Amino acid sequence: MKHHMFSVKCGLAATIAIAITAHANDPWSEKAIPQPVNISDYQGTLNKQQLLSLIDAGNTLFSARFTSEDGVGRPMATQAIIPTKRKRPPRSEFARTAGLDANACSSCHNVPVVGGAGDFSANVFVSEGFQHSDFDTTDPQFSNERNTNHLFGAGLVELLAREMTSSLIDQRHQALLEAKATKIPVKHVLNAKGVEYGFITAYPDGRVDTSNIEGIDSDLVIRPFSHKGVMTSLRQFTVNALNHHHGMQASERFGARWTSTDDHDEDGFEKEISSGDVSALVAWQATLAPPLPLNVEDERWMAAAQRGEQRFKEAGCADCHLPYLPLSSLAFADPGNMDAAGTLRMGEVPDTVYDMALLDWAATLEKDENGDYKVPLFGDLKRHVIADQQVAAFGNELLSQRFVERNVFMTTELWGVASTAPYGHRGDMTTLREAINAHGGAARPSRDAWKALDEASQTDLIAWLKTLVITP
């Protein structure tokens, strides 16, 4: 407990000391987190009122400017995803390189509104961050510089990844059953929601050749988050970011279960972020409304955008930036079925389940002929080679991340792109034209088709892209 002493003078009487006990929810408190969210209050299937309450708690946490009284700082821990000790405390807790580098989640996610993208000045420096690799330089030999992605529609993206992963794993299982039954190798092309991921060969003895898988890891798990497509879930992303950017360590990864202590970073604060806090942050992010195209009233702009959308398709851009992917269910379970070690997992605690159909924005989603929701993300949840020797701007990283090659990146979802400049994974391109011109590698044919368009057609295509906005 902390006490503040105030002196009260009564006439000529001696000073009387009055002790006032400070509480976290006092209006003058310097704690950003008044009290942890209790995960047991939000277990099972939530009704709308419970969901809105959890979202509200997450909203507060997302914009909270964490302080040293909450446990900000990690003097003896690195920014590593795997709990890793430092050799010695840093000279300064805050640094633009290995962090701490932000006071709140909203410090970086704020363009055009909270939950959005980030300016170049909010770039982060990504490394695996094990004990030997603390760094205090922006030299690309030590880290990859990354711009902030927006989070709108993120819950839908995770649900798509879960459904697609489940489908791919089932395809592998069926191929193995067929190989066992026929006693001959079975080649199976992997396809989920119309997106092809190469092929596997299943053998009668139970082996699977994964060398021809494309765009995802050999375990067939689609990891839809980050520029490199290496984060499985919003929960994983949230736990990582809290430690990296704020030195706020979630108990489910940095607590006694994995580190044998509740103060892994040795800053004097135990259990800094509860599982309920993480669940609230996930709920707020997962339920952010998906970006929807601007309803253009200007007739010239409308006509140009209609022509531009057609040019986009003709150039082959829609081969990767798919206009939509179908989603069968809006029910979001947290933890999810793909969460792994380092976050809570299914079965460890009763799930929190909420149906995003309860939210007003769900009514804006169209359905296809099968009754599935059409998620208009303009992406394919797949990694691609995006640079070559002639068009190399996107190949500017020196370090691989999670065994993903340096010139391979996740297809950027284009919904909201008009509201989230600057562009490119480093945020060093100021216009959409620059970003299109930088497409190399597997995207080179589409880039060349764009370059072959006359100026009027290129302008039409930009006019269409500028309708893909985030509306507060």
* pLDDT one-digit tens code per residue, 5-35: 333 344 434 444 444 555 777 888 999 998 9
Q: How many Å apart are CA 64 and CA 247, to the nearest integer? A: 14
With respect to residue 382, please indicate whether it lies within any of the assigned structural domains.
yes
pLDDT of residue 20: 52
- Same domain? For 307 and 160 the reply is no
Is position 183 within any domain? yes
Do 447 and 315 lie in a common domain? Answer: yes
DSSP label at residue 327: E
Per-residue model confidence (pLDDT) at position 126: 86
Strands (DSSP E) found in 69-132: 124-126
State whether 439 and 311 are in the same domain.
Answer: yes
- The pLDDT of residue 368 is 97
Q: Which pLDDT score, from 0 to 100, does residue 142 have?
A: 83
∠ CA 218-150-385, nearest 5°, is 40
Which value, to the nearest 10 degrees, does the dihedral of the CA atoms of residues 307, 309, 311, 316 take?
-170
Using alpha carbons, list the distances in angstroms from residue 308 to 251, 413, 465.
Answer: 49, 18, 8
Q: Residue 214: what pLDDT?
A: 98
How far apart CA 379 and CA 410 sit, in angstroms, is 9
Residue 352, both tokens: 């929190």
94 falls within a domain: no
**Total domain count for the chain?**
2
205 shares its domain with 303: no
* 433 domain-assigned: yes
Q: How do beta strands 352-355 and 44-45 pair?
A: parallel
Q: Which of 190, 209, 228 is where one domain is finished?
A: 209
Residue where a domain stops, chosen among 180, 209, 238? 209
Domain termination residue (choose one: 209, 234, 254): 209
Residue 459 sits at the vertex; the CA angle it makes with 454 and 465, to the nearest 5 degrees, is 130
Amino acid identity, position 304: A
**198 found inside a domain:** yes
Task: Say yes or no: 182 and 312 in one domain.
Answer: no
Q: Is residue 398 part of a domain?
A: yes
Q: In a 3-state reduction of DSSP, which class is residue 244?
A: helix
Asked if residue 315 and residue 461 are part of one domain, the reply reads yes
- End-to-end C-alpha distance for the chain, whole angstroms: 41
Q: d(Cα 104, Cα 24) in Å, to the nearest integer?
A: 18
Rounded to an integer, what distance in angstroms lies between the CA atom of residue 238 and that of residue 258? 18
DSSP state of 213: B
Task: Find the domain containing 182 and state its range.
Answer: 156-209
φ, ψ of residue 34 in degrees (nearest 5): -60, -45
Name 410's bridge partners: 383
Give 117's strand partners.
111
Whether the CB-CB separation of 338 and 360 falls below 8 Å is answered with: no
Give the residues of the chain that fall short of pLDDT 70.
1-22, 128-134
Residues 314 and 187 in one domain: no
Q: Is residue 434 part of a domain?
A: yes
CATH number, domain with residue 392: 1.10.760.10
Residue 305 has what pLDDT? 98
Same domain, 184 and 308: no
Is 442 contained in some domain? yes
